[in-house]
Every structure is written in C-alpha cells, then in structure tokens.
Structure 1
C-alpha cells in the first residue's frame, strides 16, 4: 500500500495541480489542508529537513503577512521564522508532498513526479494549459 500525504491548499493552483498529478497516477493521497490543520512544529521541521530546504526557503511572501512581520530581516533565527509560520500557517509555502521516495516542496507541481512510484495513467494538463503528461502517460519536458 502506497502512503502519500499532501499538505494542500485548495485555493492554490500549484497545489491543485500537484494533487491532480498524484491522482493521475491512480493514487488517492491523504490530504491535509494545512490552513485548517497546520502541521506541528516538529512535523514542520521534519518536512523542511527531509526536503533538504532551509526554513527561510519555505516562507511564502505573496498573499501573506511576510512583509508586515519583517520576515526579510536576515537576523531572524530559524526558531523565530518557525514561530511566525506556526502563528500564520499561510506563510508555509505549498504543497509539501511526502511519499516513500522522499519529501518535496512541489513548486513547480511536476516536481511530485520525481517522488511517485506509480506511473502516470494518462494525459495531464495544468490549469494554465501547460501539458505535463502526454496521451501515452509520458512526461513532456
């Protein structure tokens, strides 16, 4: 049984496209709407480390209180940045996907293909019209 989890925001096109690619592989993942159910600090730190990122790399600026909280201040510690994400989950960039092959922050959405065991089952076109998977289920580069 393949266990896949996506930390998802249904209002985000990249997150919706990533979820679509997972489902296009015939997988129904565990979907965690992280704005409703934010990951614990421990889980967040684990996701960031397993994805090979820094806390600063997972901060989202657009549509968040990033500027008003002065999170661009390079003197802020990882602990302070994590405090901000815990207080304002919208600051966490998305979507994070966890599979048996690893953890990725799937931006762009097709990064999820690198950590799926199952092949795509048919064509897939992103919401913006970009073809990612052709009619044979093959990735378009």
Structure 2
C-alpha cells in the first residue's frame, strides 16, 4: 500500500500556476504580490493564494489498498480592482482546468473545478479596499 501525501500534490499545482505566469504562494500573499509601495498610490500586483486540503485516501480496488488519493484545494485571488481580480481568476482557471499536474511517483488525472460559486467580492476591511475571489478545484492521483 502506498499512502500519498498532500505536499507533492500542492507542489504540482504551484508549478502549473507559476508556469502560467500566475504569482502564487501557499497560505499567504506571495513575495511581489500586492502593493509595491504606499497602499492606494503605488502599483498593485494581483496574486493567488493556494489553500490545500489534506487529501483523502480512497480504495482504488476491491482489495481496499487505498492507493488512490483525492486532492482538493482552494485558490483565493486578490486584485486592487474587480477587473484585476477577474483577470487573475481567469489566468488561474486557464492554467488548471483540464490540465494534468505532475506529482512525483504518481499518475495524476486532470484538474477540475468544484461546484463553488462565489462572486468576486470587495474587502472593505482593508484600506484601501481590495477585491478577491475564491474557487475550489480537485484532482486524483494513483501510484505509478
């Protein structure tokens, strides 16, 4: 039995987003993302944040070997404007939907979007406000 771990799956997603030119990090704003100087008067670089779930082992056969691994994750995009947040979200979706990530020692299936619909929202709790969007994805892998 091979027990999969979440980290290599998250690495595969970060690699896909980075290759597509999306500025991304795990659990925090990436270096270079956000305001370049004084908030509201400097340039804002839109970015994405990866929040991985821990994954779920699944029996891939009647032998109950639990070799299959279901990996879900959330991407939060942030922009200074609604248009910028939408642009980052479009880049994320283009980089991931239907694309197969590389996961060391595993055969992965293409990424698909989970049925979570939330609008791009304005966060007035920060000054100046920013806009953000949330989307969830999923893919499965099996040992090679």
Q: Normalising by structure 1, what TM-score?
A: 0.23
Structure with the bigger percentage of strand: 2
Q: Normalising by structure 2, what TM-score?
A: 0.23
Structure with the bigger percentage of helix: 1
Higher CA-based Rg: 2
